[in-house]
Amino acid sequence: MSALRKFMIAAMALLLGGCTTFSEDGGTRNVSEALTARGLSQQAPWIKSEADADRAADEVRKLLAQPLTADAAVQIALLNNRGLQAQYAELGIAEADLVQAGRLRNPGFSFGRVHRGEVVEYERAFIFDLLGLLTLPVRTRIEGERFQIAQNRLTAEILQVAADTRRAWIHAVAAQQSASYAEQVKSAAEAAAELARRMARAGNFSKLDQAREQAFYADAATQLARARQSALAAREQLNRMMGLWGDQLAYRLPERLPDLPQSPREIADIEQQAMRQRLDLQGAMQDAANIAGTLGLTKTTGWFSVLEAKYIRNSESGEPRQTGYEIELRLPIFDFGTARNARAEHTYMQAVNRAADLAVRARSEVREAWGAWRTAYDIARHYRDEVVPLRLRISEETLLRYNGMLMSVFELLAESRQQVGAVISSIEAQRDFWIADATLQFAINGKSPGAISAPGANMRTAAPAAGGGH
């Protein structure tokens, strides 16, 4: 047996023994482990069949049958979100590329028959991609890193959907709570306006004071309409995140937001946590490492792009059989690969600098998110422990004086309006805290949360200003 034939047999045995195959889970187990490590308890399944879709639909129906919690909303979004399923397809594509990189191009076979006079000549050749065999380990490693990057991106996308859905749930519950309170304010304002109208008709109330009460009622009706529209818009945003439509839209939300934690938590080494767990930063570093591997492959193959080996077996009428081999190598006469090498080097430096820039921004974002969380907690606790109880005590004292005929009914109503503003602001402060909490978790574990609003920046007073003069 010739040396070349022995080499070809050994190469084929090595190739078949180490051939890359598809994994049983498609890489989703690593994604699930990464999500669990970052505190996401909900499942994000890859729906591949009708049976998977039916199981997901059953789970969605069960969750919608109960008052919708934030965790349930996140689970529904992970089951129903079509964008996530598209991202899962990207993971499948990356695994297919990995499997393909672990396989050589199919060998070739050529056959020729020529004759001159009575002489017939046969030429047979077996063609093997020798360069593909030599670069197989490097190409497989590069595609393996790209597969890991795809897993990283899928994990980040799942965390993004979870964070966005949680924020949408918080907005929807807070808007519903504010609309319910605005409806109570409007009913009270309507009663006050009717009382003022009757007293003015009896001559016991000035037209100016009556106009003030009527204006307060008009403002309350306007604020109620706005609150209802805000509640509708927030609920529709939540519907879009969860992918719901039709009969599924009849779910119930809780009447109020969750209570604040009893005490603020302390997070030590928050920047180091972000450096370890931020998926966008991990992805940027993996991308730089992958490009570095590609750079090495580019330099290795820069001087030649084709290297093929042929085993030849010829026969001719009346002549001994010819056997041998042939090596085909493309010479770098016009293209020495310098442009490809330069491009690869610049691409690598680009990836390194992007990763370094992202690390700086990630540290800043997580510090800002932590500051927003702590400030939002302090403001919400201040409303819970100081402002609202103080307004309640003032209202109680005012009611006592009214019952003792020391104050008029309109002075009592004016004080009630001040309490309305405190309650609405308290709801918004509570909402801002839970939004900041979701944003902080995403800033540590996911990727850039984007612009972080200062606590209270979007707060508005839903109740109209109190009428004066009483």
pLDDT band at 251 (very low <50, low <70, confident <90, very high): very high
The mean pLDDT value of the chain amounts to 78
Highest mean pLDDT among 8-22, 196-210, 288-302, 400-414: 196-210
Model confidence at 12: pLDDT above 60: no
What local confidence, expressed as pLDDT, does residue 337 receive?
Answer: 59
pLDDT exceeds 50 at position 22: yes
- Nearest CA-CA partner of 76 in 263, 245, 290: 245
Which pLDDT band, with edges at 50, 70 and 90, does 412 fall under? low
State how far the alpha carbon of 231 is from the alpha carbons of 29, 84, 228, 368, 425, in Å.
38, 27, 5, 29, 16
Tokens of 22: 């598809």
Q: What is the pLDDT of residues 314-326, one digit of tens each?
A: 555 556 666 665 5
The yes-or-no verdict on residue 89 having pLDDT over 50 is yes
Using CB atoms within 10 Å of the CB of residue 75, give its burial: 0 to 12 exposed, 13 to 18 middle, 19+ buried. Answer: buried
pLDDT confidence of residue 433: 94
- Stretch 337-364: mean pLDDT, rounded? 78
The angle formed by the CA atoms of residues 208, 210 and 214, to the nearest 5 degrees, is: 115
Q: Give the model's pLDDT for residue 179.
A: 92
Backbone angles phi, psi at 49, to 5 degrees: -140, 170
| Predicted local confidence at residue 78, as pLDDT | 93
Query: Average pLDDT for residues 43-69, to the nearest whole number?
Result: 90
* pLDDT computed for residue 169 by the predictor: 96
Q: Single out the residue of 348, 339, 335 nearest to residue 303, CA to CA.
A: 335
For residue 407, what pLDDT is reported?
66
What pLDDT, on a 0 to 100 scale, did the predictor assign at position 209?
Answer: 76
Contact yes or no for 385/260 (Cβ under 8 A): no
* Largest Cα–Cα separation, the chain: 136
